[in-house]
Structure 1
Amino acid sequence: MMRLLRVELKRLLARGTVRWSALGLFVVVALLVAVASMQARPLPADEVAQIRASFEVQVEVWENEGDELVAQCQASEDADTSPGADYACDEMTGPVWEDWIGPEPTFATSGQEQAMALPLVGVAFALLVGVTFVAAEISTGSVGLWLTFEPRRSRVYWSKAAAAAVGVLPAVAATFLLGVAGIYAAYAVHGRAGDTDAQTWVALAQTGGRTLVAAALVALAGAGLGAILRHTAAALGALAVWFLVVEMLVVPGIDAELQRWLFGTNLTAWIFGGGEYWVTECKVTDQGQVCEYLPREISQTQGGLVLLAVVTVITLLAVALFRRRDVS
């Protein structure tokens, strides 16, 4: 089995689609780092000066007219006879420089959020590689030829699926590490690392580890879909319909609570150590129907179990069909 796995890994690395997909993965990561660099760059001095001038004008206006504006607000609130009227007049204060210049982006805030795109890009790459590696070989007849050398179909399938799962890990790991390092450097070079401590790096390391597990499982699922549908375009089309139509439109439209069991929702919950989805709850009050948009939490454990269950079902079906179907 190990010899078959080594052969399949060589075949995987020899595929042009896989190499180009890996290159595209690195390009996407480079773009994410470039975006982080642009966001981390301080505002030009002349632009800061313009903002400062406008701010000082408003400060002067507030010093001259602030008391009058608060009094007008209070008078309007007192004249409003509707129940619970509150114009928040006591919250009226003068201009604050931080509000005008905006919060300073740092790696501890904005940078970590940008780094969270890296796992999703890596998992998408793993899914594409898993699909194309198996589906392309079936559609071109390569598998039929290979079975004349190794007739035990189960071993052939598992070696291919395992090669997809193992083969994607170096690229996913490398791009995650390079992406995090690049985004951090983009902020640190401008003195905007922020409150980055050991806990921050531990959390990122844990996310990276879960990303590798997810990438391997998703590659297995992609290999299974490739074996079931037997054509790369068909498998990718089915995935597009599922994620863009079923998960984003159909299921939320039928019952928002069903989002708890969607693959994408649970995949992100596993990768990021938990997740959430949103539902609308309405109730009738004295003022009519009132609706609230409320979050629902999904644990990391549930996300991992659902991910594992989906991959297991797809893989078992793929093995059963691969063993019995004509592959020529």
Structure 2
Amino acid sequence: MSRLLRVELRRFSARRLVRWAAAGTVALAVLTVVLAFVASRPASDAQVAAAHQAYESELALWESHGEEQVAQCERDEEAARQTDPGVDFGCEDMAPQLEWFLPQTPTFEAEGSSWTTSGAATVGQLAPLLLLFALVAGVTFLTAEISTGAIGLWLTFEPRRQRVYWTKAAGAALGVLPVVATAYLVMLGGAYGAYAVNGQLGPVTADTWVELAGVGGRAVVAAALVAATGAALGVLLRNAAGALGAVVVWVVVVETVAVLAVQDTQRWLVRSNVAAWVQGDLSIWLEECTTGPDGTTCQGVQETLTLAQGGLYLLGVTAVLSVLAVAVFRRRDVA
């Protein structure tokens, strides 16, 4: 088994398309570093001057009409409290503040009062993009041998089909790991360097690095599972364009339509569960409607897709498709 696996790993690394896809993945990671540098640049003098001008203009209006606005706000708040005693319109904080107008530059680690997305959070959100390489590599690794007939020749040397399939799937799963790990390190290290150069690191602590290391580790595990899933799709559909097209149609079209039709389906979408696993929990918004004397009212309810659910979901999809692929591969004519 180990000898066959070594052979498959050499074949995987020798594939030209795999090499090009690996280069493209690293290039994608470099692009995210460039975007991090642009996003972390402090506001220019012109932007600061424009913010001061807007603040002074708003402050002049407030000095003329502020008392009227506060009085109206308090009346509206009092009326709203007739039905909901907990309502707070924040009337005492209506006076314009300079920080409302100044552009907020994100930091690598979020600060308490910042509403911008931190650089570390952005790295976590972009990490699932690296799984595209794993999918492409897994699919094409199998479909290339099927389309050229190389798989049939290989079976004359190793006729045990189940053994052949699992070594090829394992070769794809292990082969993508160095590329995904390298791309993630480029993405993470480059983003940190970009924020450091611009003086926007924020309160980075050991917990920040532990969390980011967890994201990277889970991304690597997800890459192995996605590559194995891609290998299974390659065997089932026998065509790279068909397999990749089916994935695109499912994720972009089917899952989008499902969410529009029934919002509760968000918890079962592939992209949602992959994000929950890689990022470590994912918040989703569902619409909860109730019917009362005044009719039907709806409000957004936040729920969390846990890391555990995302991992089990991804593992289950990989296992089901792999078992189907093995069953088909054992019985289908490979010529």
**Fold conserved between structures, TM > 0.5:** yes
Alpha-carbon distance in 1 for matches of 2:266, 2:91: 42
Q: Is the 8 A contact 2:43 2:103 kept in 1?
A: no
- Give the deviation of 1:13 after TM superposition: 1.3
Structure 1 residues 74, 105: CA separation in 2 closer, same or farther (over 3 Å shift)? Answer: closer
What is the alpha-carbon root mean square deviation over aligned residues? 2.5
**Which residue of 184, 198, 209 maps to 1:190?**
198
In the other structure, the counterpart of 1:107 is 108
**Which residue of 206, 210, 213 maps to 2:221?**
213
- Give the deviation of 1:79 after TM superposition: 12
Q: Is the 8 A contact 1:126 1:168 kept in 2?
A: yes
Structure 1 residues 2, 34: CA separation in 2 closer, same or farther (over 3 Å shift)? Answer: same
Letter of the aligned partner of 1:19 in structure 2?
Answer: R
In the other structure, the counterpart of 2:292 is 285
Q: Which runs of 5 or more residues in structure 2 are unaligned?
A: 111-117
Structure 1 residues 153, 107: CA separation in 2 closer, same or farther (over 3 Å shift)? Answer: same
Q: Which moved more, 1:114-123 or 1:130-139?
A: 114-123
Structure 1 residues 261, 88: CA separation in 2 closer, same or farther (over 3 Å shift)? Answer: closer
Q: Is the 8 A contact 1:161 1:220 kept in 2?
A: yes
Alpha-carbon distance in 1 for matches of 2:77, 2:190: 56
Structure 1 residues 128, 175: CA separation in 2 closer, same or farther (over 3 Å shift)? Answer: same
In the other structure, the counterpart of 1:307 is 314
- Give the deviation of 1:89 after TM superposition: 7.5
Q: Is the 8 A contact 2:77 2:89 kept in 1?
A: no
Structure 1 residues 74, 221: CA separation in 2 closer, same or farther (over 3 Å shift)? Answer: closer
- Give the deviation of 1:277 after TM superposition: 3.2
Letter of the aligned partner of 1:102 in structure 2?
Answer: P
In the other structure, the counterpart of 2:92 is 91
In the other structure, the counterpart of 2:234 is 226
In the other structure, the counterpart of 1:266 is 273
Q: Is the 8 A contact 1:77 1:87 kept in 2?
A: no
Task: Number of aligned residue pairs: give it.
Answer: 326
Q: Which moved more, 1:110-119 or 1:221-230?
A: 110-119
Alpha-carbon distance in 2 for matches of 1:2, 1:79: 75
Q: Is the 8 A contact 1:130 1:219 kept in 2?
A: yes
After superposition, what is the alpha-carbon deviation per residue over 1:210-253, rounded to whole angstroms, capped at 9, x for unaligned?
11111101111110110111110110111112112222213x35
Structure 1 residues 89, 164: CA separation in 2 closer, same or farther (over 3 Å shift)? Answer: closer
Alpha-carbon distance in 2 for matches of 1:224, 1:166: 15
TM-score (norm. length: structure 1): 0.91
Structure-to-structure mapping, 1:1-328, within 5 angstroms: 1-71=1-71, 73=72, 77=76, 88=89, 90-91=91-92, 93-109=94-110, 110-250=118-258, 252-328=259-335
After superposition, what is the alpha-carbon deviation per residue over 1:139-175, rounded to whole angstroms, capped at 9, x for unaligned?
1211112222222222221111111000100010011
TM-score (norm. length: structure 2): 0.89
Letter of the aligned partner of 1:222 in structure 2?
Answer: G
Q: Is the 8 A contact 2:125 2:279 kept in 1?
A: no
Q: Which runs of 5 or more residues in structure 1 are unaligned?
A: none
- Give the deviation of 1:6 after TM superposition: 1.5
Q: Is the 8 A contact 1:280 1:294 kept in 2?
A: yes
Alpha-carbon distance in 2 for matches of 1:2, 1:241: 37
- Give the deviation of 1:15 after TM superposition: 1.1
Structure 1 residues 82, 161: CA separation in 2 closer, same or farther (over 3 Å shift)? Answer: closer
Alpha-carbon distance in 1 for matches of 2:222, 2:77: 59
Identity %: 46
Q: Is the 8 A contact 1:9 1:167 kept in 2?
A: yes
**Residue 107 of structure 1: SS of its match in structure 2?**
coil
Alpha-carbon distance in 2 for matches of 1:201, 1:54: 39
Alpha-carbon distance in 1 for matches of 2:88, 2:213: 47
Q: Is the 8 A contact 1:176 1:208 kept in 2?
A: yes
- Give the deviation of 1:76 after TM superposition: 7.0
- Give the deviation of 1:47 after TM superposition: 2.7
**Residue 288 of structure 2: SS of its match in structure 1?**
strand
Structure 1 residues 87, 196: CA separation in 2 closer, same or farther (over 3 Å shift)? Answer: closer
After superposition, what is the alpha-carbon deviation per residue over 1:235-272, rounded to whole angstroms, capped at 9, x for unaligned?
0111112112222213x355433433333222222222
**Residue 195 of structure 1: SS of its match in structure 2?**
coil
Q: Which moved more, 1:151-160 or 1:88-97?
A: 88-97
